Structure 1
Amino acid sequence: MNKSHLQSVYNQIKPYVHRTPVLTSQLLNEISQVKLFFKCENFQKMGAFKMRGATNAILNLTKEQQSKGVVTHSSGNFAQALSLAAKSIGVKAYIAMPKNAPQVKKNAVLGYGGIIRECEPNTLAREAEANKIQKETGATFIHPSNDINVIYGQGTAAMELLEDYPELDYMFASVGGGGLLAGTILAANAFSNSCKVIAGEPANADDAYRSLISGKIEFNQTTNTIADGLRTNLGDKNFPIIKTGVERIILVEENEIIEVMKLIWERMKIIVEPSSAVALAAVLKHKKNIKGKKVGVILSGGNVDISNLPF
């Protein structure tokens, strides 16, 4: 993936997404002993980086495909992202959503014009419902993280960060389905000669960490983590990019995620979801090895159920 390709992806989605701000914190620099640059995708439209990939995927469909709509299965951020992106572009979005998804997330999807079809809360049921919608409507399926146009779109967050701060030594992102991490790697490779990418992952859902060791996509038996956005697994489109491009994956414990989430809320006065806190938790765990370096951190989103906070 070269520089001009990512630039053209960026130009294509630019009218539909925010160029999000980069924040710094003297206090967090002191705690981490590095110079931190936070890419605040919690300020993105619909509250997460996923707006970028959803928009790019829809814009890459033919006019005929767009006229029949798009479909995905998601319990949260991608459901919202695809719904809002589709609405902005004038396309119908169908979402296969588990029955037990939080009402606040269902309301957000409906508010963005998404058409929800409920299903049982497991992967097979979600996929079956999405297939059914495809057959009935002719809508094009867009995977939340394992779609190359989604991955390119997600890469524009890191691209913006490197345009603002080209001297970064490291970039940290959290990993769940792998779309953000793969996109971040592509952008770092295209826009920097020296910026290395490191991922943070919950120890309670460590499939990406294990996949890197075994060389094949691993799955989780249980995903008992507060970082609900990171409970999904890697796919065949993003894993090859991650396998060759990520410097390492750092596992963080649940209490570390909660403490860091609290730290960001209290010290930076911004709202981030647990999945975002995972990236900074990984920085803090790894700080001895990166002391004094310039470090970008992608705060992936801020969609939190505030009636159900962990602190």
Structure 2
Amino acid sequence: MRCCFIILFLLCSQAAMCQSLAELEKQLDSLLRKREKSELIIGVGYGNSPAYGKKTTTYETPVIMKPFLSPTLSYYHKSGLFASASSYYLFEAIGKPWFEWDLSIGYDYSKNRKFLTGISYTRYIFTDSSDIPVTPINNELFAYFYYRDWWLQPGISLDLGWGSAQETLAGGRLSRNLSGTDFNIVGAVRHPFIFLDVLKHDDAVLLTPSIGVTAGTANYYSNLKAFQYMSRSPKLHSEWNRNPPGGDRPPTADAVRSFLSSSTKTGFEMRAVDVTLNASYVIGKVTISPSYTVFKPFQGEDKSLIGYFTARLGLTFK
């Protein structure tokens, strides 16, 4: 029983970063040659988010990973249009536990046998939470293209984030407006293996190994899709620790100058290479999509290999 509980826990962990249900459905469509109905998908996930480890944010306040619960509601029209809404509840929260809402709209084109493409816009809404590091990146425009007529399917993704936010110091006695952008390109090669009627009639298993390379900027922490690896880099944690957005003591003149001029901006450069295995199991209305990634960052203080597990659980209504 304990083993089963651990496996179930892993399948539900860090749901925000794994292979999307929409991508799974489009890949199954390419095999079955059908997409006849629109779909409403209810999902829930359990994951981790960077958060401050103490109630008072000082210059030495650590940034740690805290667990969150993420319910999601998505609607996919048979034409390819879709919309989704997600919220995030932070466990062990110091401030407001509901710290983020994501609203997305987009279009996916999967009716051509030779290629798969799509574009989406996401608006990130953050509460004034003392737990979560401030980021100005609250808008995302994401586009992707996969050529799937070859055994090895090459693909490319473009990821642009922008926005603004207010950052405070010394209990609100100092503040500044942050604005910025991040842009990333992800190139990948993959091959999906699809197995039908594995455990029972009308179920399916999809296994998709892939190799990807990410290049771009890493000016700010964000939820951008291209940051699924870099957000776990110790470099970002060390930057937050050196330049936290708060403090409970009167700032010195040097601290004020540092606060007003500090920047962690980077140039456009190779950021990481990764190897990922996505696995999805569909049985009736239920879809489980675990994934495991090993990646090597090219930038930052720690360039060693890092691995992590993610998953998504969803219920589909047609």
Q: TM-score, normalised by structure 1?
A: 0.26
Q: TM-score, normalised by structure 2?
A: 0.25
Q: Which has the larger radius of gyration?
A: 2
Which is helix-richer, 1 or 2? 1
